[in-house]
Structure 1
Amino acid sequence: MVGVVSSPTTAFPSLETALKHHFGYDQFRPGQRAVIEAVLKNQDALVIMPTGGGKSLCYQLPALLKLGVMVVVSPLIALMQDQVDSLIDNGVAATCLNSSLDYDTIRQREADLLAGKIKLLYVSPERLMSPGFFGLLGRLIQTVGVSGFAIDEAHCVSEWGHDFRPEYRQLSVLRETFPQIGVMGLTATATERVRLDIAQQLRLRDPLIQVSSFNRPNLFYEVRPKSRDGYQELRRQVKQHQGSGIIYCLSRKRVNELAEKLTADGESVLPYHAGLTDDTRRDNQTRFIRDDVRLMVATVAFGMGINKPDVRFVIHYDIPRNIEGYYQESGRAGRDGEPAHCTLYLAYGDVATADYLIGQKPDEAEQRIARQQLRQMVDYAETTVCRRRVQLSYFGEPLEGLCHQCDNCTNPTPIEDWTVEAQKFLSCVARCQERFGMAHIIDVLRGSKKQKILDLRHDQLSTHGIGKDRSVDEWRLLGRSLLHQRLVDETTDGYPVLKLNAASWQVLRKQIPVEVAVPKDFAPGPAEASTIEDAPEVAQLLTVLKALRKKLADQQSMSPYMVFPESSLRQMAKTRPQTLDAFGQVSGVGSHKLDQYGEVFTAAIRQFCADYGLESDPGAAARRSRPVRERRQAVGDTHRQTLELHRQGLSLQEIADQRGLKATTIASHLEQLIRQGEAVEVDQLVDTDSQRTIVAVLAELENGSLTEIRDRLGSTVSYEDIRLVRATWHRDQAIG
């Protein structure tokens, strides 16, 4: 039996000599030599190196120095063919087996393998698990030997990774069936949790774990708001850049649209997505790699392991679903070490779309994890601190100082000392026994009387209410900054719980200060016109209002400008009026149009503000400066008291008991508040199943009376629940 032969050949006096001979390099990159030495000793290994860091060499060189065949598992046919072609071009005997080959070709390649003519065999996980393949492996072990198993893109094995593939989970069978053969996993992106999961899923035995720096100093990172003229800005940016570029989109439809527009505007561009045939995708990738075209507009299906080192820019036209995916996709720029540019366009409508797609996942645990990852991605896009620091912190790597290679470093936000606030925040985390997430900590700091806080007796903590002087947004800004600076940790299992670390205690002991980048317009106060004009949410809301205007105009067979002129829509987008009184102050809104369109437009604006976490319109800060009594009277004193108790997390009956009123009266208050545009959390008052049941009847009866709706639903559903859900449903229907 030949089996596995672990000792290298003696053809070269040193590994450096072998490296020079086979690949032409004089020296190894950081981390490569240690991995190669481990593989030559038949030791398992887990290799985390950034894109362009030289992962492939870690199994390619050992394959040439050991007897037998190195079996490489790769997820994409196009990727493995590209690697095989590159190796053959270097004079290395490599081949692949996949579903695109005909029977005769497969038989010939298997014969070459058994004859000892091949050193590296690339296969997909599906091919590896196919009937008969393990028989081929057995024959190879009996004849020429198998020098090792290399699992490329190993993050696909982990459900905590950004590109989980269920078929990768079956790869543990390699260790079970061939325990004497070394196994190595390789990936460009893996958090500590993903690393542990990879090692466990692949059944690695005492592996060498090599984690290289995730820092790609040649890449410049920036985030731009996507305006309503997003395509024109994209086109200008493409023209400004030299060399090849990749533009990533979330949907096939967006890929096709951009590719067609750019082609019509004279750009050399091709699309790439899973909806194209295998031949078309392969041809398009080949043409891009060969510089036959300059641009590739693609979904994330493109680029995994792509061997094109001179990509000069990567643009994400839609927000990625997680930081790991963004790091890997943007990292396809500048693999040659030369300067490259990475741009992310942020539109909150895209975030909502991504969240909707997450909601289509059948598994609730997957939804929970995916939503946490999306939130982290949005945090990255919105951050005012060094973007590279946020990226590296996500992977557990610290960065001292600034990178000077991102938009936040080259155009910095003012820094303020928030050490005292940080001590309050971290002290509250400790008082809550490190068992809760950021939202709960902020509620305690601000003195919330939510039932959950009362049940936990957290209203009796010394930190309860010590942060009333700061807004929710300010505490959230601090919390994110502490996470980015690694001054506090957060669990990543879909239930984000804050945990203190060594740096947290240094802050609490006054050993290190805490500085926070605070946007110039963050502090409460009237927003300047220029700030409002430049804010990305203005353009996004304007798009929403234009779509609503078009819908209403189409229903009445009139031109959109006859509903409202664009100047009125712009004022609405800037001021975000959420009540009829405020809407009536918009230029171009007379009494007739207020009656005709006021409800539907204010409902749309309220929904937009709720979706994107906008507390109120930009004039809210000025209104907050008015006396409390004056503000309460503007809404209605008794309604305001009900609303304030609701926002403390109290149930309908709890509010009624505290105010000495009937639950029916409280429901009436909240119903009117919903209709007036106030933010009422119906999910907090009516369970989801009841809401679905009520909405189904509302959709059937439409304008039915409260009694008719109750009769259809039966006595198990209360009038109060119907009133609240109906008010919310009518508001949502008005939005369209």
Structure 2
Amino acid sequence: MVEKTSPTQVFPSLEGALKHFFGYDQFRPGQRRVIEAVLKNQDALVIMPTGGGKSLCYQLPALLKLGVMVVVSPLIALMQDQVDSLQDNGIAATCLNSALDYDTLCQREAALRAGQVNLLYVSPERLMRPGGVQLLEHLMQTVGVSGFAIDEAHCVSEWGHDFRPEYRQLSTLRERFPQVAVIALTATATERVRQDIAQQLRLRDPLIQVSSFNRANLFYEVRPKGRDSYQTLRQQVKQHQGSGIIYCLSRKRVDELAQRLTVDGESVLPYHAGLSDQVRRDNQTRFIRDDVRLMVATVAFGMGINKPDVRFVIHYDIPRNIEGYYQESGRAGRDGEPAHCTLYLAYGDVATADYLISQKPDAEEQRIARQQLRQMVDYAEATVCRRQVQLSYFGETLNGLCHQCDNCINPPPLEDWTIEAQKFLSCVARCQERFGMTHIIDVLRGSKKQKILDLKHDRLSTHGIGKDRSVDEWRLLGRSLLHQRLVDETTDGYPVLKLNAASWQILRQQLPVQVAVAQRFADAPSEMVDRPEVAQLLSILKTLRKQLADQQSVPPYVVFPESALRQMAQTRPQTLESFSQVSGVGRRKLDQYGQVFTDRIRQFCADYGLESDPGAARRSRPGRERHQRVGDTHRHTLALYHQGLSVEAIASQRGLRPSTIASHLERLIRQGETVDLDRLVAPEDQRAIQAVLTEMGDSSLTDIRDRLGPTYSYEAIRLVRACQRA
């Protein structure tokens, strides 16, 4: 046991004590204020980002007050790491947990009773069992208890990202030991979670210290996750220097990825709950000690680990909520040095996460989790500064851009959407601020859903005034307004839009609204088949097909070929009549599978506010695409093209990307304008592309390019396809 530090030592200042015990010359922002409060026996609620110095807020008072500071910690690995670090610093700290043998437990409890310990780390389960409470009562009567520090305090709240029911029992600490101050600490908590923490732990007039959530040294990016995503990941890992963590949703994915990386020569270990306690401890220790460079893990790994030099964190699967993502990605760069955070987005993973949510037994938990997942998808799809989105979620505003994310480094073009924003916010007001984004979009687009008719919202002046914009465009605007804090949204699982002061400024024409519009909205061709909702529904239908096939002990393709599922995902048939039009659906399959598939498609459309059978809508209006209006920006591109400029030259002159110019020309070709393809794509490349197009038909651009090879650009494929169809 390390010798106990005497609390009677006198220091000229708190800075002097800080230097003496921990070797730092000055406090980080917010630390001194909290420490002063704890020394006065005042309760405190401390919200500091990962690496912000939360632990010092109770460790230094523990060395300056009489008695033992009891620290509640949720993970054995977390508390052992803290104890090892303190003991290495010459400070008397110990922990009590289920991993200890009986003799060791007795020795440590004896040292506590003898007053030889400054800090005791213990899990909430062990603390609140009868033996733990008796130990606390004995310490109170003998050596004294200087305070209760509740680490990872977000675990007490069902609105947090890692709710643990056993944390709720900690409220009895206030009943049994009312004279002892309680300090609650966490790296992530929204305003609602903060209030819940204070209420659940029964904090008395606590000092509330909320430090900035901005981790300026972290670079954030989102990458699409396609069929070649492993090779992309592999290349990214090779490019990064230093230690890294790769997070996955499932144990199976962890094992598969760790094995592939090992085969490819990387120094890597897995971490998940399926491994034995000893293996997990050994793997974590080897990672912390730099025996291995990479850890592939579920989110169970890393909570509170004190490894400051993690240089990159990759989420290979989408996290379930923004708070969890912020904390997990924040395990990079705790030393303040530059670090990289990447999220790979695949809509099939979103469907998987949604399925896992559906397995929760409590409907209320499902509702909250689905809202949190939707917020995570909104973050991943955001076209604005990613740090703005993160900080807005925690109630903090970032002035300007961070220049430390992919959207700031390579920003999509800004467009003035003030009029659309006024329509949107006016609709929120006329719906009396009682509905979510999907309902507002339905009203704007003139939906005749039964709910709209029952509420008489078809009689509102805003009903149908947004027919000129697609559902995706209105959703882009809604997300942008939320990210810029130009409108608010409730966070109780029922995401209801609420107007704020900025909303009224927009409605009074006092504040303009600019929206970063990705190319898929500004210039994407209307016949694209690899839309996000298509990929997500396709994944759901594949899962359903697999379930039906397993019931019959047949391969999935016997139920339906994948081409049929893809057509269902694209057209979204919700009646048996429309389902019968899907290629591969005969009478037998219609009778056998029609009802179950249309029910699942109908539920998907209802959940995500999508129209039914968009393919049928297009078929019922032949020639609609040909008569769409070509905008001024396309005409400008066409005029420069007729002056003899190349795609690259036009892009340079207009300050746009070459891909944007190519999409303009593609649209013009489809509208019947005369464009010389030989000036844009070499004739030999045209022939190769045409051959693959003839062979693969309406396959996605990605599939076509994979067949052709990387020397063929997406722009060339789109232009040749446009000419072929024209």
- Bucket of the pairwise TM-score, normalised by the shorter protein: 0.7 to 0.9
Match of 2:129 in 1: 130
What TM-score, normalized to structure 1? 0.76
| Aligned CA distance change for structure 1 residues 353 and 577 (closer, same or farther; 3 Å) | closer
Residue 395 in structure 1 maps to residue 394 in structure 2: yes
| Aligned CA distance change for structure 1 residues 629 and 389 (closer, same or farther; 3 Å) | closer
CA deviation after TM superposition for structure 1 residue 571, in Å: 10
Q: Spell out the pairing of 1:531-546 with structure 2 (5 A cutoff).
A: none
The answer as to whether partners of 1:312 and 1:333 remain within 8 angstroms in 2 is yes
Match of 1:59 in 2: 58
Match of 1:445 in 2: 444
Match of 1:351 in 2: 350
Q: Spell out the pairing of 1:202-217 with structure 2 (5 A cutoff).
A: 202-217=201-216
CA deviation after TM superposition for structure 1 residue 500, in Å: 1.1
Measured in 2, the distance between the counterparts of 1:133 and 1:539 equals 49
Question: 405-414 vs 15-24, which deviates more?
Answer: 405-414
Residue 330 in structure 1 maps to residue 298 in structure 2: no
Q: Spell out the pairing of 1:81-480 with structure 2 (5 A cutoff).
A: 81-480=80-479
Residue 75 in structure 1 maps to residue 74 in structure 2: yes
Measured in 2, the distance between the counterparts of 1:168 and 1:542 equals 37
| Aligned CA distance change for structure 1 residues 99 and 546 (closer, same or farther; 3 Å) | closer
Measured in 2, the distance between the counterparts of 1:556 and 1:90 equals 62
Match of 1:496 in 2: 495
Q: How many residues align?
A: 614
Measured in 2, the distance between the counterparts of 1:291 and 1:36 equals 33
Measured in 2, the distance between the counterparts of 1:630 and 1:412 equals 31
| Aligned CA distance change for structure 1 residues 388 and 609 (closer, same or farther; 3 Å) | farther
| Aligned CA distance change for structure 1 residues 88 and 265 (closer, same or farther; 3 Å) | same
RMSD: 3.8
The answer as to whether partners of 1:487 and 1:501 remain within 8 angstroms in 2 is yes
Q: Secondary structure at the match of 1:257?
A: helix
- 1:316-338 Cα distance to aligned partner (Å, 9 max, x none): 11111111101110110111111
Match of 1:485 in 2: 484
Measured in 2, the distance between the counterparts of 1:309 and 1:35 equals 23
Measured in 1, the distance between the counterparts of 2:626 and 2:308 equals 64
Measured in 1, the distance between the counterparts of 2:523 and 2:581 equals 23
Q: Secondary structure at the match of 2:521?
A: coil
Match of 1:45 in 2: 44
Q: Report the identity percentage.
A: 78
For 2:251, give the aligned amino acid. Answer: R
Measured in 1, the distance between the counterparts of 2:37 and 2:171 equals 20
Measured in 2, the distance between the counterparts of 1:538 and 1:447 equals 26
| Aligned CA distance change for structure 1 residues 523 and 135 (closer, same or farther; 3 Å) | same
| Aligned CA distance change for structure 1 residues 8 and 429 (closer, same or farther; 3 Å) | farther
For 1:215, give the aligned amino acid. Answer: N
Q: Secondary structure at the match of 1:521?
A: helix
For 2:198, give the aligned amino acid. Answer: A
The answer as to whether partners of 1:49 and 1:214 remain within 8 angstroms in 2 is yes
CA deviation after TM superposition for structure 1 residue 471, in Å: 2.3
- 1:87-119 Cα distance to aligned partner (Å, 9 max, x none): 001111100011111222112111211222110
CA deviation after TM superposition for structure 1 residue 623, in Å: 6.0
The answer as to whether partners of 1:74 and 1:123 remain within 8 angstroms in 2 is yes
The answer as to whether partners of 2:71 and 2:119 remain within 8 angstroms in 1 is yes
CA deviation after TM superposition for structure 1 residue 357, in Å: 1.1
The answer as to whether partners of 2:417 and 2:515 remain within 8 angstroms in 1 is yes
| Aligned CA distance change for structure 1 residues 501 and 240 (closer, same or farther; 3 Å) | same
Measured in 2, the distance between the counterparts of 1:545 and 1:108 equals 57
Question: 420-429 vs 187-196, which deviates more?
Answer: 420-429
Match of 2:699 in 1: none
Measured in 2, the distance between the counterparts of 1:581 and 1:465 equals 28
Q: Secondary structure at the match of 2:130?
A: coil
The answer as to whether partners of 1:521 and 1:527 remain within 8 angstroms in 2 is no
Measured in 2, the distance between the counterparts of 1:629 and 1:294 equals 53
Match of 1:728 in 2: none
Measured in 2, the distance between the counterparts of 1:314 and 1:106 equals 36
Measured in 1, the distance between the counterparts of 2:556 and 2:80 equals 55
| Aligned CA distance change for structure 1 residues 120 and 441 (closer, same or farther; 3 Å) | same
Question: 499-508 vs 306-315, which deviates more?
Answer: 499-508
- Unaligned runs of 5+ residues in structure 1 are 1-6, 632-736
Measured in 2, the distance between the counterparts of 1:421 and 1:288 equals 51
The answer as to whether partners of 2:350 and 2:536 remain within 8 angstroms in 1 is no
Measured in 2, the distance between the counterparts of 1:302 and 1:446 equals 45
Measured in 1, the distance between the counterparts of 2:518 and 2:621 equals 20
Q: Secondary structure at the match of 1:210?
A: strand
Measured in 2, the distance between the counterparts of 1:576 and 1:405 equals 39
Q: Secondary structure at the match of 2:70?
A: strand
| Aligned CA distance change for structure 1 residues 72 and 463 (closer, same or farther; 3 Å) | same
Measured in 2, the distance between the counterparts of 1:526 and 1:164 equals 44
For 2:286, give the aligned amino acid. Answer: R
Measured in 2, the distance between the counterparts of 1:227 and 1:609 equals 27
What TM-score, normalized to structure 2? 0.77
Q: Secondary structure at the match of 2:463?
A: coil
- 1:563-602 Cα distance to aligned partner (Å, 9 max, x none): 99x9x8999799879899999999xx9xxx8979998999
- 1:441-477 Cα distance to aligned partner (Å, 9 max, x none): 2222223333333333333333233223222222221
Measured in 2, the distance between the counterparts of 1:338 and 1:378 equals 28
Measured in 2, the distance between the counterparts of 1:360 and 1:533 equals 28
Measured in 2, the distance between the counterparts of 1:24 and 1:626 equals 75
Measured in 1, the distance between the counterparts of 2:514 and 2:354 equals 32
- Unaligned runs of 5+ residues in structure 2 are 1-5, 628-726
The answer as to whether partners of 1:490 and 1:499 remain within 8 angstroms in 2 is yes
Measured in 2, the distance between the counterparts of 1:559 and 1:478 equals 39
Measured in 2, the distance between the counterparts of 1:502 and 1:581 equals 49
- 1:135-183 Cα distance to aligned partner (Å, 9 max, x none): 2112211221111000000000000001000000000011110000000
